[in-house]
Amino acid sequence: MVAGAAGATAPIDQGDTRASRGAYPWFVVAILFVGYCFSAIDARVLTLMVAPIQADLDLSDFQMGLLQGFAFSILYSIAALPIGRFVDRTRRRSTLIVWGVLFWSLMTAACGFSATFIGLFLARVGVGVGEATLSPTAYSLISDYFERRRRALAISFYAIGYPIGGGLALLIGGWLLTHFTREGGLTLPVLGDFAPWQAVFLCVAAPGILVAGLMMLIKEPPRREVATTIAQRSSLREAFAYVMERKVVFGSLIGSLGLIALLAIGTTLWFPTFLMRTYGMTPGEVGLYYGMVMLICGTVGTLFGGWLSGRLMRTGRSDANMRIVLVSTVLKGVPLIIAPLMPTATLALTMMAIGTLIGQASQGVMLAAIQDVTPNQLRGQVTAIALLAVNLLGMGLGAAVIAAITDFGFGDQGALRYSIAITGAVTLPLIVVMLVTALPHYRREIALLSHG
């Protein structure tokens, strides 16, 4: 192709061409999906253990919000930037994930050895650093294994790893916490005694070495959709410059993605505690029922969004991914806002199930939308910039904002339900405005990058 305004694109051979044929690309997606599942389990299992950790370490809701969000996200966000640059340059992307899995599993185990707020905070920071290796690399690999029409579905299959892992974190975590509470904790030779919540961290960290072994099976695919006007070994400065030159589309995409994450992650992290405080549910009950909501509705919604994207693109809708995100955001608003205000746990879980089912349709296609308007040489770095917003706004502020409204606004832990509802009522209209603003600019960038 001849270079155009946005940079013409062309495939280049930087990997094993045979690896991108047949069923193997879906095998790679399956491996990455497993990794995403376990990353979600290690990140989310803390949500079910708020009460015992608070009791043992004498922590406030705000401190727990920092542990659930800010501690995990701060270095996750920072580390993702150099990691994204490495992803765009290396010819062996899977090796990075192998080391990342081993590191975040080690840090999850370190959470089990922590007996102070500072120790647990630092261990959670380590979990975030390790997990920062996964998504920039995974999105880059999947984008090279699949053309644009199939990419959203493939990314959606990867993306369901997080709701499935989040659901399993609740199911497995709830069962483990109940078991170790009944047993009075865990005693290991040489290592000594562990409280029930510490034992849960040790158990969910253990499979990490097996997951790392799976990652070693991924072959390097040839890179596709490389912009000829962008340097082969682009820098982070060039990635920021590319984004700033298209600040409306990327600002809206990344900003809305960050706010979606703030609402989704903040609500997900505090909803188990809300169910226990408001309706008197036990950790085991919350793990079972809310875990099933996350597992089933999250999976079905995410896969439906990916399938719908491919179907719409086959009818000529180049902006299919953005349209799906916009419609799902509008439709999920009411059930998500009213869920914590319901008079019974059954109704609250029902509303959350509906909101999750609809909202998760945007999970995979939103990241696919960003890949679609980004040249190959910059995908790892632009994905890292997007994840910076997701984690600073989502993981960093989502849990802390809801906790701050509860602690400093209402001054009453029983008001958690209103804090969750207020967060949804404020953020959802802002997300819709950003998406509507981005749509025409998104269409133009798709056309320029596709045709040169």
Q: What is the mean pLDDT of the chain?
A: 84
Q: From CA 323, how far away is CA 364, in angstroms rounded?
A: 13
Give the pTM.
0.70
Answer yes or no: is pLDDT of 8 > 50.
no
pLDDT tens digits for 167-177? 888 888 889 99
Give burial (CB, 10 Å; 0-12/13-18/19+) of 92.
Answer: exposed
Nearest to 144 by CA among 299, 388, 374, 312: 374
Answer yes or no: is pLDDT of 84 > 60.
yes
User: Percent of the chain, pLDDT > 90?
Assistant: 33
Residue 230: pLDDT band by 50, 70, 90 thresholds? Answer: low
Beta bridge partners of 187: 193
Give burial (CB, 10 Å; 0-12/13-18/19+) of 122.
Answer: middle
What is the mean pLDDT of the segment spanning 340-362?
93
In sequence order, which residues have a C-beta less than 8 Å from that of residue 436 and are 6 or more positions away?
Answer: 326
User: Radius of gyration over alpha carbons of the chain, in Å?
Assistant: 21
User: Percent of the chain, pLDDT > 70?
Assistant: 91
Answer yes or no: is pLDDT of 6 > 60.
no
pLDDT computed for residue 396 by the predictor: 66
H/E segment holding residue 192: strand 192-194
Residue 388: pLDDT band by 50, 70, 90 thresholds? Answer: confident
Q: Which residue did the predictor score with more confidence, 235 or 414?
A: 414
pLDDT computed for residue 21 by the predictor: 60
pLDDT computed for residue 227 by the predictor: 53
Q: From CA 321, how far away is CA 312, in angstroms rounded?
A: 9
CA distances from 244 to 237, 299, 385 (A): 10, 34, 12
What is the mean pLDDT of the segment spanning 95-107?
94
> Is the distance from CB of 238 to CB of 378 less than 8 angstroms?
yes
Q: From CA 175, how far away is CA 197, in angstroms rounded?
A: 11
pLDDT tens digits for 420-451? 999 999 999 999 999 999 899 888 888 877 66
Helices (H), 246-282: 247-279
Helices (H), 315-415: 320-338, 345-359, 361-372, 379-389, 399-404
What is the mean pLDDT of the segment spanning 125-136?
87
Please give the domain boundaries of the chain with CATH numbers for all domains: 17-222+230-451 (1.20.1250.20)
Q: Give residue for tokens 């192998």.
A: 98
> In one letter, which amino acid is 109?
A
Residue 347: pLDDT band by 50, 70, 90 thresholds? Answer: very high
pLDDT computed for residue 217 by the predictor: 93
pLDDT tens digits for 42-58? 988 888 888 899 989 98
> Is the distance from CB of 332 to CB of 355 less than 8 angstroms?
yes
